[in-house]
Chains A and B, each alone.
Chain A
Amino acid sequence: MTILIDRTRERAPTTGPVSVAERQREKARPKGLYKARTPIYPKLVHGPWRWLKWALLIVMLAIYYITPWIRWDRPGALPDQAVLVDFAGGRFYFFMIQLWPQEVYFITGLLVMAALALFLVTALFGRLWCGYACPQTVWTDLYIHIERLFEGDRNARMRLDAAPLSFDKLWRKVGKHLVWIGIAFGTGGAWIFYFHDAPDLIRTFWVGTAPMTAYVSCAILTFTTYVFAGHMREQVCTYMCPWPRIQGAMLDDQSFQVTYRYDRGEPRGPHKKTETWTGRGDCVDCSQCVVACPMGIDIRKGAQLECINCGLCIDACDEIMDRVERPRGLIAYDTDAAVAARCEGRKPQHRLIRPRTLYYAGALLLVSGLMIQGFRTRETIGVHALRDRNPAYVQLQDGAVRNGYTLKLANHGFETAAVRIRYVGVPGAVLTDPGHPGSGPLVVDLAPNVVTSLRLFVTVPAAAADARAGEAGEDDDDAGQDASFQIISGDDIKVVRTAFDYGSHDR
């Protein structure tokens, strides 16, 4: 016996049976480019999954709204916001970590890790991200809850939508939309705090002196939140989001997903209290799993693109199973392989360790290791040596040859760093610093968090230059001599390669 889950059948409308006349009208109508949205009225369910969703909703929203307000003491004039994307200053602050624009690969690494973690979790337990953590899910869930507060649960909402306009309908609808817009504004408003000092921005935002980008960003996010969570809802997941397609590729028959246990439920049908349960399945065809579904699908048709694995149908079905006194779990987190095994009368076996989960876990470990190594060996002082090209060398009046360099020293740390600079590799070369007259070893204090540009001269006295010209001849003038700057901070010596150009040494 094979699995009898019919996935090819066309999706039935969820709002009740469709009359023959309606179906014919539908056929005769010219096909548009876009099918009008079929309203979905998810019913409130109670149960462990619903409670988990409430808990995660609060946690996710709290993280989003509170994060920009966490302070983190940083020295000097540096911002004291724990998480801040400082575009103006070209810095990204994340608690004790501070990233410069050229270190954006760390963010890339984080995104790669997030993607791999998503792959792994999906391969193991299905689309948990979609069902519980995705912003679209969280805000839509919140919006549906607001809708319920104003218009009541499923049946009341359907009655209200069908009813003619009245004062009662009007204030409920207006109230709902006002609260929606309020939440949307709060969402857009919180977003901008990630890009600017939050206490300062919240003040300037209201007095109208905040940057225009803050207002525009807030407006865009307000609009998209209101439209996506209030009006488009499951259509965002079905039509706009690429993840359902991508996540579908992570799944196999060993992935835990919200599953209708076909082997137990079929054949389905209404059941009277007095009837026996033998010879039939546990599914009483009450459609509670369908009315509870925020995506408007029937889980009994098997895993589908639209299903976000939120588990609300499990709660809805368990309630019914309790009522008809059958064991819970007709719909549950289970694997296709387990359903197939039970259909064949075998004992289902769950395999969490599979080639695919090993690949994902291995890749995740690899990238995490690279990231940790990257952070461990991250340089606090970055150096670039730019050699003057025009002119490449200058002959001084005593016959000495001088080359000019611009040294760019980036202090990635939070404290002033004293570094010593030496020039090695050219016999007799003397390093001078026209900006800081005086003698002795060249010691520079690097201000934190900025790039210090240093103009340096290296002079080779006439005797050494003449000796070089004698041994090298005239033919390799442009080659220059390999040399390097040594930047010494504490025990750390950084070597930056460069060259010294003697030029055509004539007289």
Chain B
Amino acid sequence: MTFELSDRVQAVPPSGIRRFFEIAEERDEVISLGVGEPDFATPWAARDAAITSLEQGKTSYTANRGKRELREAIADYVADRFDLGYDPDEEIIVTAGASEAVDLAFRAFVNPGDTVAIAQPAYISYEPGVIFAGGEVLPVPTREEDDFRLTVEGLEEAGAADADVLVLCYPNNPTGAIMPEEDLEPIAEFAREHDLTVFSDEIYAELTYDGEHTSIASLEGMRERTIVFNGFSKAHAMTGLRLGYALGPADAIGAMNKIHQYTMLSAPTTAQYAALEALDSCDNDVEEMVEEYDRRRRFVLSRFREIGMDVFEAKGAFYCFPEVPEGFTAEEFAEEVLREQGVAVVPGDVFGDVGEGHLRVSYATGLEDLRRALNRIEAFVADHA
């Protein structure tokens, strides 16, 4: 007997990075700039809290929405950092990573046939998430000449006025672009005017190197139509602990909780203890990591320019988005630099067609490796000039 796949599963193509992964596995001495996770370990205090919770046998389910104490801590944190006010009882849900929160939102608010506009280049999971929910994806390209920021013109050209949901991710994976408040205002106005629900993935909010992060939900009239996603994977280096959360109006979070309680029951308990400690006492660790990423960011941007590859001035997350030299597609460049020089980078078209001609280069890797990797890229570019 063979399994007959559902139409929705069949509609999602295999991941664009899978093939590269297989090549990398065969080759020795690969320096990877292809990773979307910190190279730092979770701050010790958070790990210690997780260990202590295990020692104390705290291994039961928690409340579906997450431990109340953690929801309170999250409410305080987002109020303090991003000027967002959410009630821990009804407007916050703790999930198994921000990815689960995103998936819950698609399933809770996207009907079959609904249109979900996604600002691209975009994190690779949004599109499959929409398809699994039965929705239709409307790509909204952003352009390098606009610093990869979303504009109202871009939304209009793409036909997003007729969409049901708009997905934003700033600071952006893969470009490193940010959207300051003045850029978000017209987008918010567009969303209000056309009655769009906004999903705002702000997982990289802490990793903003130039100015402060603004959440679109903090703008006038946006709170009631926005779901904000965040989590502990990036700024707190807790990817493997799988802990995220969503913020939104009570009825919306209630709807997401309905799915969550039947599928996940509750987010990992051990991770919730770690997260509580992370919010309570790890600000300095976060600050140090952000400082280190910033140094690496400057280093990498400067080296790409020396190598002669145009690169966008990334101001958030831990990625930069250089252009591949003439004569290569993004995929060709990524594959050949991996085979010839053992440097793993992700071709930009994986993040949407508009990413063609670019590479996503992660600097969540130690400076020595970055230096060696960029020397290798330099040699590769020189060999193929």
- Asked if A and B are interacting partners, one says no
